[in-house]
């Protein structure tokens, strides 16, 4: 009799491998279609795969399902880019943090359709939940996550891995530099932002520190989205002036004022590519 543990270690069957390979090709085809035509169509993906539409439904349950699978792949590929860009600055979490932020901006400008699908789409947004403790401390999300069989589970997990890249580096910065001073805009009284982190880490985490992280991400994402969607003068996007200023703002929020000049050099290096 085969035990559950033995079943977990069994190699996938040939049929399983073929199914996974076909599903991978479907996701890659859909992603290419997104870049080329600015949308994903189940019929067009099926045609591109040489399949009938009913045959495609044996692998993905709906357009929503396929969209979430593409977004999960985008998250993980983007994470690889952030990690590779931050790697040369190993040992300096503050430098890694701004290098990753600059890499996020550069990737987004070069992958506008994929940015829109992953970060500004109602379908992908509905499976992501803001989980500050999880992102900052690298813990499993505090809210129950969908099982692998649930629609969007892969996307939710990939979004958490992406958030943990920035959150983990922020925590490293604070462990070295100390938590930032309270900002000019205090956190809402009812938020209790630091409580969950304090419970998970076993150390006191001021609300101001959690609020600083949220405000920094809002600036990074907001500036990047404005540039990606063309809501900022093209010359300002081309010279990176607004983004550089945003990085200065984020550094101040995170308590890195004393490192403004050398961190701006990191930003310049990444933007220069």
Q: For residue 131, which of 146, 114, 145, 110 has the smallest C-alpha distance?
A: 145
pTM: 0.85
Mean pLDDT on 251-261: 94
Q: Residue 217 domain-assigned? A: yes
Residue 95 in any domain: the answer is yes
Residue 39 included in any domain: yes
Residue 251 has pLDDT above 70, yes or no: yes
Spatial CB neighbours of 17, under 8 Å, sequence gap ≥ 6: none
**Of 41, 60, 79, which marks where a domain is finished?**
60
Instruction: Say how far apart CA 159 and CA 177 lie, in whole Å.
Output: 27
Compute the distance between CA of residue 174 and CA of residue 57 in angstroms, rounded to an integer.
48
CATH number at residue 105: 1.10.357
> Residue 9 class from Cβ within 10 Å (0-12 exposed, 13-18 middle, 19+ buried)?
exposed
Q: Find how far residue 111's CA is from the centre of its chain.
A: 14
Q: Does pLDDT of 263 surpass 70?
A: yes
Asked if residue 8 is part of any domain, the answer here is no
Q: Are residues 138 and 18 in the same domain?
A: no
Domain of residue 77: give its range: 71-272
Confidence of residue 244 (pLDDT cuts 50, 70, 90): very high
Confidence of residue 197 (pLDDT cuts 50, 70, 90): low
When divided into structural domains, the chain yields a total of 2
Q: Could you tell me the two tokens for 222?
A: 């907001």
Confidence label for 181 from pLDDT (cuts 50, 70 and 90) = confident
């Amino acid at each position: 009799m085969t035990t559950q543990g033995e079943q977990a270690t069994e190699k996938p069957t040939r049929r399983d491998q073929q199914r996974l390979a076909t599903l991978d090709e479907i996701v890659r085809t859909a992603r290419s279609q997104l870049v080329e035509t600015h949308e994903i169509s189940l019929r067009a993906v099926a045609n591109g795969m040489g399949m009938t539409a009913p045959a495609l439904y044996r692998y993905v349950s709906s357009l929503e399902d396929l969209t979430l699978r593409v977004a999960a792949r985008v998250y993980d590929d983007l994470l690889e880019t952030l990690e590779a860009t931050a790697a040369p600055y190993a040992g300096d979490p503050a430098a890694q943090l701004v290098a990753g932020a600059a890499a996020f901006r550069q990737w987004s400008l070069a992958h506008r359709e994929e940015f829109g699908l992953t970060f500004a789409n109602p379908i992908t947004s509905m499976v992501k939940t803001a989980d500050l403790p999880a992102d900052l401390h690298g813990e499993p999300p505090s809210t129950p996550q969908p099982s692998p069989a649930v629609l969007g589970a892969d996307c939710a997990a990939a979004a958490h891995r992406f958030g943990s890249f920035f959150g983990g580096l922020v925590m490293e910065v604070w462990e070295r530099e100390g938590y930032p001073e309270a900002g000019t805009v205090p956190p809402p009284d009812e938020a209790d932002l630091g409580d969950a982190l304090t419970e998970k880490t076993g150390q006191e985490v001021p609300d101001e520190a959690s609020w600083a992280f949220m405000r920094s991400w809002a600036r990074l994402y907001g500036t990047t989205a404005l540039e990606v969607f063309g809501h900022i003068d093209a010359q300002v996007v081309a010279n990176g002036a607004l983004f550089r200023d945003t990085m200065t703002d984020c550094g101040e929020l995170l308590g890195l004022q004393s490192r403004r000049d050398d961190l701006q050099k990191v930003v310049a290096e990444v933007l220069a590519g």
